[in-house]
Amino acid sequence: MKDDRKKFILDTSVLLYDKKAIHSFPGNDVIIPLQVMDELDRFKEKPGIVGESARYINRFLDDLRAEGRLDKGVNVPPTYSENQTIRITLCDDPAQLPKSLAHDSGDNRILATCMSERSVGDGETIVVITKDINLRVKCDALGIHSEDYYKDHIEAGQVEYAGWQKNIVSKEIIDEFFVKGKVSTAGDFFPNEFVVLCDGGNSSALTFHRAGYLYAMNKRPAELMSSFEAKNKEQAFAVEALLRDDIPLVTLTGLAGSGKTYVTLMAGLDGVQQGHYKRIVISRSIQPVGKELGFLPGDMSDKMQPWLAPILDNFRTMLADKDYTYFQMMRDRGELEVAPLAYIRGRTFNDSFIIVDEAQNATIHELKTLITRVGKGSKIVLLGDTDQIDTPYINKLSNGLSIVVHKFKDENGAAHIKLAKGQRSNIATRASAIL
């Protein structure tokens, strides 16, 4: 019987993205180029998921040394992965690479390792696993099979869930709904999905699905949010989800200027003023264009200022807070806190309204770390535009926000709305559509 084992060569990007990738190839042989270990060493002091992953890999490999020499190949204990081996190898032979490739490049040294393994192998399938797009292209040019790390990918059709749908019913059902405030449904709806009931004519109703019934959306007069007038049905759905106490996780996606941050921040302020929450916590994944966070001057608050601009703009718009006096006052009273995603580990947020802006730039592992920090009496809202991703190695199908939306749509404690229309200005909406 032919041995179907494969050799998987792992790139640094994969190990930093998911620390468990190192033992995610049961029944196969994992090869780690020595160059990767050198690159991991430079990340072990970093805060957040990246530093945690680098340290985990180092400790795991150090423990494996008790099983044998890593340069010869070591069997991974079955508690981690069945019938898998790990080997660390080195190839510094420039003859393995085309002359046009720089021999001192980290990626090219990994390619040299691939070429060397192929030359001494006995016909096994060799696959490079990397989240680096350019490295995958180089692999193709050299005839080396390469793949992305697909463990956290979702299917293309799974990113289209909008959180609401239209349902054609008879006028009698709509009349019954307006009389009783609810109506039973035989439709196939997710928990907390919003439904627009239509009779095909002039009658319609906005409803909320829960446990086989479509309910009327709540009205909340005399609260701060009552002054907000939804510009479309999606914003109305978003407000309902944001103000419900029985939905601790809300995800809002949509193009720039659709009102995601505005309605979320207003709901958070409403919650603090009404005493539902003690504070608003604002977090986001830091994806700089230019300088890293650590190189910016000042303390953490000062360093975060460039990334707080959208929040400040919304304070200025909704509260006429031109000098950001109210914003600063809330921070001084402890009612508003800024918590960068990389520094969130180990914390617990009780009685908090947590806003994660630009969540499409976070990996699923980063968002898992944050969501598991949510304590009693808290609500977390993830915002983002999955068509605008700045983080290397993730895309519309593998970013954390898309995955959370997909995996939580069957959960009673979660709701999602896609805001499809821009409200910033006509020119901003047209630019998002045609550029």
The continuous run of DSSP H or E covering 430 comes out as helix 426-434
Check if CATH label 3.40.50.300 holds for domain 233-434: yes
Dihedral, 199, 203, 208, 210 alpha carbons, nearest 10? -50
- Report the C-alpha gap between 167 and 214 in whole angstroms: 11
Please state the separation of Cα 303 from the chain's center in Å.
Answer: 22
- What are the Cα distances from residue 110, in Å, to 15, 44, 135, 318? 14, 20, 9, 52
Q: Report the first-to-last Cα separation within the chain, whole angstroms.
A: 55
Q: Kindly report the backbone phi and psi dihedral angles of residue 86, in degrees, each rounded to the nearest multiple of 5, phi listed first.
A: -130, 135
- Do 395 and 227 contact (CB within 8 A), yes or no? no
Strands (E), 341-435: 352-357, 379-384, 414-419
Which DSSP string corresponds to 316-349? HHHH--TT-HHHHHHHHTTSEEE--GGG-TT--B
Angle between helices 48-64 and 34-41 (to 10 degrees): 130
- Do 378 and 404 contact (CB within 8 A), yes or no? no
Which DSSP string corresponds to 299-319? SHHHHHHHHHHHHHHHHHHHH
- What are the Cα distances from residue 297, in Å, to 245, 300, 343? 39, 9, 18
Give the amino acid at 21.
Answer: A
Q: Kindly report the backbone phi and psi dihedral angles of residue 312, in degrees, each rounded to the nearest multiple of 5, phi listed first.
A: -60, -40
Give the amino acid at 5.
Answer: R
Q: Same CATH topology for 6-147 and 233-434?
A: yes
pLDDT at 125: 84
- Residue among 214, 132, 221, 130 nearest 173 (CA): 214
- Residue among 336, 335, 385, 331 nearest 361 (CA): 385
Topology (CATH level 3) of domain 6-147: Rossmann fold (3.40.50)
Q: For the chain, what are the domain ranges?
A: 6-147, 233-434
Residues in contact with 401: Cβ distance below 8 Å, sequence separation at least 6, in sequence order: 251, 253, 359, 360, 362, 367, 382, 384, 386
- For the chain, the average pLDDT equals 84
pLDDT at 423: 57
- Report the C-alpha gap between 203 and 243 in whole angstroms: 26
Please state the separation of Cα 315 from the chain's center in Å.
Answer: 25
Q: What percent of the chain lies above the pLDDT cut of 70?
A: 86
- Do 43 and 50 contact (CB within 8 A), yes or no? yes
Question: At which residue do the structure tokens 């490049």 appear?
Answer: 105
Residue stretches of the chain with pLDDT short of 70: 1-3, 92-94, 103, 121, 123, 219-227, 286-307, 320-322, 422-435
pLDDT at 48: 77
- Report the C-alpha gap between 193 and 237 in whole angstroms: 9
- Residue among 233, 232, 231, 228 nearest 267 (CA): 228
pTM for this prediction: 0.82
